[in-house]
Amino acid sequence: MPREGARIILGVGGGIAAYKSAELARLLVQRGYSVQAVMTHSATQFLTPLTLASLTHNKVITNLFAERDDSTATLSSAIEHIDVALENDLLVVAPATADLLAQFAHGLAGDFLTTMHLAFTGPVLLAPAMNTNMWNHAATQVNLKTLQQRGYHLVGPDAGDLACGMVGAGRLAEPLEIADAVTALLHQSLHQSRDLAGETILITAGPTQEAIDPVRVITNRSSGRMGYAIAEKAAARGARVILVSGPVALAPPMGVEVLRVESAEQMKNAVMANLEAASIFIGVAAVADYRPRHPADQKLKKTASRLSIELEPTTDILAEVGRQKGDRIVIGFAAETQNLAAEGKRKLELKHCDLVVANLVGLDGTGFESDENEVLLITRDAEPKAIPRAAKREIASRILDQIAPLRLSARARNA
């Protein structure tokens, strides 16, 4: 079912496939969406703005600084790109040329479409179209990867005969396919928009630092990105989020209460102080399992002999929360270098979790210090479910999608 009244920006890049955006505009209008077409200068060489204006029953934007004859022209048109960005629900770019992908990936803002794109915070759907060699070029592929890691969605390109005479990947997806992708994305964002409203989610993230002396610590390679991505997505879905964070180099996610800590002991205290308020606990932090038993008051001096530091165990925060579980949904992580499923299952039982998100660490490109991850979802009742390699934000959304089914099975177990 199309969502009546949704507001779509249709960005049109300058390529021969621009003519197909007219059909896309018609389909989107037919589905009850209001469509604001924005054309790049080169798009207007392939398709007249009048065509899109007639189909969308709306003016078409082609210039960052619209030509007006009154003295307020510059000011009012200069902020139009912000208004358009704020007023619309989804940006679809068809055709997305190699040049537009590059400008988006690098945050350039040379015309209306690219400037408005920077101010737009909703879902972005790209329908690329270009010559096969341009599509396969390393630069285009890197730009595409950058955009996908930021959560941009892709439809096409298809393979087939291209306008340039070549045969291969690069043909714009069919307008109907693009319109269906728009509808699906709108559904997704509508459906998920506030589904965690009313929940208070307590999340731990990042590494901890255990003092050896006033200047030295024992820590690990956790970047905090997975925990911060979950916090950001949960807040965007309406939850109150309390993020207990070890030392990381990340900006606090929007709308999240961040409590900064250093050691495992401080992290445990911050968690326990906020547990009462929490309906969901997600332990993402790579908490130190051991800390120096007697941290030195003064900086340790170098000597010729060996140095041994006696370590003592820290409290397992997740296990402690598991012991005081009550009605809460408790989600843990398992960072493993081998036996992923078995170790995940063992930690699930041991720490009374509803879900353990197991990931391999120490591999290139996923896990610690990486923008991407690849995980296995381990629950009590179902077979482990693999989430293939994706941006951590995407993985974060998939983990949060598990909360509703987890509640249902917890209720069924307690009934």
Interaction site with ligand CTP (CB under 6 A): 204, 264, 283, 285, 287, 289, 314, 316-318, 332-335, 347
Distance CA 239, CA 197 (A): 5
Identified catalytic residue from 108, 118, 164, 258: 164
Note whether 62 and 91 are within 8 A (CB).
no
Residue 353 CB, shortest distance to ligand CTP, in Å, is 8
Structure tokens at 115: 């400037």
Long-range contacts formed by 140-148: CB under 8 A, 24+ apart: 140/98, 140/101, 140/102, 142/105, 143/98, 143/101, 143/102, 143/104, 143/105, 143/106, 144/101, 144/105, 146/105, 147/101, 147/104, 147/105, 148/391
Distances (CA, A) of 350 to 177, 344, 354, 355, 361: 47, 10, 11, 12, 21
Residue 215 CB, shortest distance to ligand CTP, in Å, is 24
Residue 385 CB, shortest distance to ligand CTP, in Å, is 18
Structure tokens at 392: 């951590």
Residue 283 CB, shortest distance to ligand CTP, in Å, is 3
Residue 288 CB, shortest distance to ligand CTP, in Å, is 7
Distances (CA, A) of 39 to 14, 244, 351: 8, 45, 55
- Is 164 among the catalytic positions? yes
Residue 349 makes CB contacts below 8 A (sequence gap 6+) with none
Q: How many CB atoms lie within 10 A of CB 270?
A: 20
In the complex with ligand CTP, which residue's Cβ is closer, 182 or 264? 264
Residue 335 CB, shortest distance to ligand CTP, in Å, is 4
Residue 210 CB, shortest distance to ligand CTP, in Å, is 11
Distance CA 393, CA 21 (A): 30
What does the buried/exposed string (b/e) look like for 4-29 if buried means 16 or more CB atoms within 10 Å of the residue's CB? eebebbbbbbbbbbbebbbbbbbbbb
In the complex with ligand CTP, which residue's Cβ is closer, 145 or 352? 352
Distances (CA, A) of 84 to 15, 37, 185, 389: 23, 10, 19, 34
Active site residues: 164
